[in-house]
Amino acid sequence: MKQEEIDWCLKIHEKIKAKKVYSHVAKPDLKIGYSRSLNEIEEFLKNNKYLTIFDWSLDVNTLIADLAEYYSAQKNLLLICHDLESWFEKRLIKRAVTKPEVVEKNIRKCAEKIVIIGEAYDNFSRMLAGEKFFTKKGSNSSHKRRVNSEEASSIQKSLDELKDENVLLGVMRILKKWMPDLDIQENTTIDIMKMPKQCFEELKILLGKA
C-alpha cells in the first residue's frame, strides 16, 4: 500500500479506539477465534504487509464478525458490534473501497496469493520458482488426505474465479482455522496432501465442490 493509504487505515484504528462505546467490544489486544486483534492488524499495517486497503478491511471485518459471534448472547454488546460493522462499512464506502469494480479487482489480488496443489512434482517446481511452500507442522499420515490432481485443480479453479467478498472471507477463515501458522499475506503454496481433511472438506462445501 501507499503510505497515504496506510495512514488512512491507521486513522480508522485510532477512531475505533477513541470511540468509548466501541472500546467495550473491540479491545486492542482482544483476540477472538482465529482473527487478528486490532493491535496485530495495526502491526501488519505499520509493516506494510497488506497489498490494498481491501485486504486490510478483510482482517477488520473478520474480527468484527468474530466479536459479534462472541457477544451473541449479550444483546447490548451485540448491538455495538453491529453498529461498529455499519460504521466501518460507511468509512469504506466513503473511501470507494466497496465499489463493485474495485472489490472484484482486489478480491483477485487476495485470492491469487493462495495456490493449492496436489502433486509432488508441482511442489518441487513451485519451490524452484521461489514461492513460499507451506506444510502443516507436525503433520503425519493420519492428517493427510489422499487426493488426485483433479480435486486440487477444482478447488484452485474456484479460487481463480472468485468474485464474492464473503466467500473470500470464508476461505481465509477456514484456512486460518485449520492451518493457524499460515500467513495469507504472503504468496503461499499449500500442498493439499498436507492439508487437514476437515479443512479440505469445508473448502469444498464453501466453494460448492462437495
**Residue 192's closest CA among 167, 160, 155, 162?**
155
Euclidean distance between CA atoms 201 and 207, whole angstroms: 10
139-160 pLDDT tens trace: 443 344 445 567 777 777 887 7
In a domain, 104, yes or no: no
8 and 91 inside one domain:
yes
The owner of cell 508441482 is 122
34 and 92 inside one domain:
yes
Q: What is the pTM of this model?
A: 0.55
**Residue-level pLDDT at 122:** 42
| Side chain identity, residue 49 | K
15 and 64 inside one domain:
yes
91-140 pLDDT tens trace: 888 887 656 655 666 666 666 666 665 443 344 334 334 444 444 444 44
Domain that holds residue 133: 112-206
User: For position 44, which CATH number holds?
Assistant: 1.20.920.10
pLDDT grade for 55, boundaries at 50, 70 and 90: confident
Domain termination site, one of 31, 63, 98 = 98
Please tell me the total count of domains within the chain.
Answer: 2
Element (H, E) at 189: strand 188-191
91's torsion region: left (phi>0), alpha (psi -120 to 50) or beta? alpha
Longest CA pairwise span in the chain (Å): 54
170-195 pLDDT tens trace: 887 787 778 777 666 556 677 766 77
63 and 23 inside one domain:
yes
C-alpha cell at 20: 468509548
Euclidean distance between CA atoms 94 and 145, whole angstroms: 45
Domain termination site, one of 64, 98, 132 = 98
66 and 146 inside one domain:
no
